[in-house]
């Protein structure tokens, strides 16, 4: 029997892997992918909560499923903006490695 806890554990792990990717990876494109992973972890937990929160009438609580559609859209917009910034930076610097981007420093 797969319970809510199992879903939450998977989503927590996905979030942790995504965050570790953002912190450890040096290529901006990979970092963008890791960011997507973090957003999708939230999607998974929202859908799981929605499935396991049954209303009095026996239907799932659909609020969270609507929320997920919004998150998918937002994630797409975020990647579009992120890639645009990466392209702008690549034209000026010819690199996608975060370690080379050090014009602004303390």
Positions that interact with other proteins (CB under 8 A) = 4-5, 8, 15, 18-19, 22, 28, 31, 35, 38-39, 41-42, 45-46, 48-49, 52-53, 55-56, 61, 63-64, 66-67, 70-71, 74, 77-78, 81-82, 84-86, 88-89, 91-93, 98, 101, 103-104, 106
DSSP symbols for 75-100 = HHHHHHHHHHHHHHHHHHHS--BGGG
Among 28, 25, 14, 10, CA closest to 87 = 28
Place of tokens 């937990």: 45
Nearer to other proteins, 2 or 91 (CB): 91
């Amino acid at each position: 029997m797969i319970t809510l806890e199992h879903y939450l554990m998977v989503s927590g792990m996905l979030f942790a892997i995504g965050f570790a990717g953002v912190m450890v990876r040096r290529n901006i494109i990979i970092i963008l992918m890791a960011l997507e992973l973090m957003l999708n972890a939230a999607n998974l937990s929202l859908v799981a909560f929605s499935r396991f929160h049954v209303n009095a009438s026996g239907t799932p609580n659909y609020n969270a499923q609507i929320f997920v559609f919004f998150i998918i859209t937002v994630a797409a917009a975020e990647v579009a903006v992120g890639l645009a910034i990466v392209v702008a930076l690549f034209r000026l610097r010819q690199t996608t490695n975060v370690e080379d981007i050090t014009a602004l420093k303390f």
